[in-house]
Amino acid sequence: MTVNEEMGKDLDDVCCLLQTALIGRSMLILLDDVWEQDIVDRFTKLYDNDCRYLVTTRDEAIYEIAEAEKVEISKDDIKEISKEILLYHSLLSVEELPPVAEVLLDRCGHHPLTVAVMGKALRKETRVEKWDKAISNLSTYATCAPGPVSYVNEKDVESTLTIFGSFEYSLEAMPENSRSFFMVLAAISWEEPVPEACLESIWSALLQNSLFSLVVSKLVEGSLIIKLEDQLLYHMHDMVSLYLENKTNDAVRTLLSESISDCAALVAPWLFVFGKECVKGPAEQKIRSFFSQLEFMEIEILLGSTTQALMTCRSISDFEASRLGFSKILGPRIAEIISVGSPDLIFAIIKAITVIFFQADYINLAQSLETAGSIDKLIDLLGVCEDTSTVANFSYVLAKISEHVDATIADEILSRIPMDRIAGLLSPENELWHESVFTTLASMTKVGKLKAVETMIESGVDKKLLVLLGNGSEISQHHAIVMLKTFCELGAPLQGCMGPAVLIHLPWHARISLERFVLFDQSVPPSPKPQQFDVILHKIRQRDSKEIIEAIQGLLPLAERAKDSTVQDLLLGSNLFGRLSLLLQCREVESNQNQVRSQTAFLVMKLACTGGEPYVHRFLELNIVHDLIGMMQCNIDELQDSAYYALHQIVFAKGGSLVLQRFLQLGTIEKLVNLLDCKSLKTKDLAMQLLVDIAVVGTKPCIERMLASHVVEKLVALEKAGEPFGGAVSRYIQGLNMCKNVQSAERAVMKQHILRKVRSAVRGHKLEASLVASVEYCIAEGSQGASSSGRKKK
């Protein structure tokens, strides 16, 4: 198992996770290269499991505290292992290995890393004089090497210096450009793998002529950095990182102080995100200096580098911390830069805002722009934009700003957004822009209400949405349904374009979602009088299933009008919901229990779908939602389906956010994820569908909770098991693509996090290539809208 990045580094948290994960499990756990006694002690205190531990260490105190069986590797074993390592990395056979190799191994202390580094430095070298020189140089470098920092055990200082000497020898054999590049990597924090784009930007700042790929491959060959298999990520051995520890200041000086200004602008954001803690401060100061001096070219480079660095963050927590830092730097300067900046610089700022700014940031942005009088300049620039990505980004930002300015300015913004061009971006072939456009439309409807919707309809937006329902991707269909529902709720006259003749040709899920908005059934009888309702309540309280079912049928017309204030008062003022809870639990029913439970779930679904938040709130008060989750786990297909469809409508209903909040409070999300491990295929399938639903409507905490509960690993396990779970991970990612409650930049980071989890979980399995490829395709398909910001403007 792996520890989720979002958990942080707190050892107590990790131990709590392990305690939960290992209950009832039987496995061999390897604790490799342990130096702290507390680590082993904590593992031995984990209970309710049948696990065994294999600990490797060079500290005898670890063995003493653990009271474990000791297996000591003999000196002969160590010599044999180190010789095999040397043969492997030098690409020599036993016969080709010079006799002096034994002396080299002794000088290396038979340390695996040292032997590997020296072996690669002597690759295919059979001349004895070269090996003699290597031994001599290693001794010299070890003597001159900087001493290790204080946390290295004193008795290992000599060994550490020898390792450092091997690094020096390896670097000496490399070209100058490889050496200089390696030295500036001291500015990077290597606690977690670093993206290749970060290293390439640092390489570019050195203004070297050779290819980055050739230089980085030299460092990989020399064991100075490690490329993770099948990933554009690099890692560094702890001893190599330790070797670079006292070279950090030199690296910062080279990259930020001594490089030319545009190179410093290129690399500063990467150091702000991926640099050591002591490097982030100087990087921030450099970024602020560019803004304070209004160096336009450098600012434009810096903004592009900032968005790229943010999009390569490994976790949401890292992304949020870095994004917030950039927002605090950029926010106070935007109004001034827009007032005096060139159009190209303003285009770059607008593109960066779409990644860096979240909802709360737009409040301050709107106020500062309004005070500086810069909104008019943005509106005028929007009118002359020719490039599609620039139009989409400008419209997106201005629509967001309109939510936080006075009505006059908001009306001016909405009237100037080129709705004809926005409508054109909604065609199925323009999926690249759909996410940005739907967000723009949502902001416009929030501010302009029916007036904004009427403008959209005049530009043909409603017809474009209907085309998407028939021919668009699943993600675009989802957003189109949401937008058309919003139009209907605001009172837009859509009956003409969404009558029965149109609806009948739509996909079934779109038809079901929309028909109650535009085909109001006038044949539904008026609300019954209280006396009639009392008769229905009397029936539903009986133990006879026939009377209960008749009562439920009598309540369905009321459920169709659940939003009506009179009906709402009648239903919510009764004890109906307590009775529904008992019926779902199959209590106080004499016969036909399954039919009663199924009919009850259907009534609950109708009440949630039509009545919304007041009814959902009552469902939560009486634990009806969790009754449905329990019913979803029974072994009767009809009941399981009824329970799932009711839950589906509840989480998508107005008030569904209340359900998700309760799920977070009670740990329900973790329980749903654990259902993916149950024996019942039907329960697994429905749990998977409900988790996808939660991904669609959930908030960032909901999605983070699912990821922390190992939902991806469990979905991969289902795919490994075969049908009917093929495509489980892709379905989950598609749900995430539809989620409106996370920013596109956050979603991109989440999806890369999911991809890493998939690669790790499926490695070595026969499905590895096909599953990784399908997930990569799904991620790329859902990220097209976000990628638009990377296109060059005109």
Q: Residue 492: what pLDDT?
A: 80
User: What confidence category does residue 523 fall into, taking pLDDT thresholds of 50, 70 and 90?
Assistant: very low
Q: Does 211 reside within a domain? A: yes
Element (H, E) at 66: helix 60-66
Are 347 and 337 in contact by the 8 Å Cβ rule? The answer is no
445 in the same domain as 456: yes
For 213-239, give the DSSP string.
HHHHHHHHHTTSSEEPTTSSEEE--HH
Question: In this predicted structure, what is the pLDDT of residue 527?
Answer: 46
Domain end residue (candidates: 23, 49, 66): 66
- When pLDDT is cut at 50, 70 and 90, the band that residue 258 belongs to is very high
pLDDT at 334: 92
In tens, the pLDDT along 266-282 reads: 999 999 999 999 999 99
385-431 pLDDT, tens digit each: 888 889 999 999 999 999 999 999 999 999 999 999 999 999 888 88
pLDDT tens sequence across 3-25: 444 444 466 667 777 777 777 78
Tell me, yes or no, whether 191 and 226 share the same domain: yes
305-345 pLDDT, tens digit each? 999 999 998 888 889 999 999 999 999 999 999 999 899 99
End-to-end CA distance of the chain: 48
Point out the domain boundary residue: 239, 258, 277: 258
Domain endpoint, select from 258, 284, 305: 258
- The verdict on 594 and 606 lying in the same domain is yes
Phi, psi torsion values for 59, nearest 5 degrees: -110, 110
725-733 average pLDDT score: 90
- Copy the structure tokens of residue 664: 């977070």
Do 188 and 140 reside in the same domain of the chain? no
Instruction: Return the CATH number at 200.
Output: 1.10.10.10
- Split at pLDDT 50, 70, 90, the class of 61 is low
- Is residue 117's pLDDT more than 80? no
Whether 698 maps to a domain, the answer reads yes
pLDDT score recorded for residue 452: 93
Task: Give burial (CB, 10 Å; 0-12/13-18/19+) of 485.
Answer: middle
One domain for residues 186 and 209 = yes
Position 742: which residue type?
A: V
Tell how far CA 138 is from the center of its chain: 45
248 C-beta neighbours (distance < 10 Å), count: 17
* Model pLDDT, residue 276: 94
Distance separating alpha carbons of residues 794 and 103, to the nearest angstrom? 65
pLDDT at 610: 85
Q: d(Cα 294, Cα 317) in Å, to the nearest integer?
A: 31
547 and 511 within one domain = no
Same domain as 96, residue 81? yes
CB distance 582 to 558 below 8 Å: no
pTM for the model: 0.71
Residue in 757, 766, 791 with CA at minimum distance from that of residue 387? 791
Residue partners of 43: CB distance under 8 A and separation at least 6: 18, 29, 31, 53
Q: What is the pLDDT of residues 731-759, one digit of tens each?
A: 999 999 888 888 888 888 899 889 988 98
Residue found under tokens 């005096």:
340
Coarse DSSP helix, strand, coil percentages of the chain, rounded to the nearest 5 percent: 70, 0, 25
- At residue 683, the pLDDT reads 93
Same domain, 507 and 547: no
For residue 386, tell me if it sits in a domain. no
Cross-strand bridge partners of residue 53: 29
Q: Is residue 273 part of a domain?
A: no
Cα-Cα-Cα-Cα dihedral sign, residues 753, 773, 476, 428: positive
- The H or E element that residue 792 is part of is none
CATH number at residue 105: 1.10.8
Contacts of 116 (CB under 8 A, 6+ apart): 85, 89, 223
Kindly state the average pLDDT of the residues 709-731: 88
Say how many domains are in the chain: 6
Place of tokens 């399908």: 774
Residue 610, C-beta contacts closer than 8 angstroms, at least 6 positions apart: 516, 559, 560, 561, 562, 563
Of these ranges, 154-163, 408-417, 721-730, 755-764, the one predicted with the greatest mean pLDDT is: 408-417
pLDDT tens for 214-246 read 888 878 877 788 888 777 899 887 778 877 888
Residues 96 and 35 in one domain: no
Q: Does residue 148 have a pLDDT over 60?
A: no
Domain holding 680, by residue range, is 667-794
Residue carrying structure tokens 């668009």: 472
pLDDT tens for each residue of 608-640: 888 889 999 999 999 999 999 999 998 888 889
**Alpha carbon distance 329, 287 (integer Å):** 8
Q: What's the confidence (pLDDT) of residue 412?
A: 93
In a domain, 62, yes or no: yes
Pair (32, 81) in one structural domain:
no
- Average pLDDT taken over every residue of the chain: 83
Quick one: 608 and 711 in the same domain? Answer: no
Is residue 401 included in any domain, yes or no?
Answer: no
User: For residue 235, what are the β-bridge partners?
Assistant: 226
Are residues 749 and 319 in contact, defined by beta-carbon separation less than 8 angstroms?
yes
- Structural domain includes residue 394: no
User: Do 104 and 129 belong to one domain?
Assistant: yes
Residue 625 domain flag: no
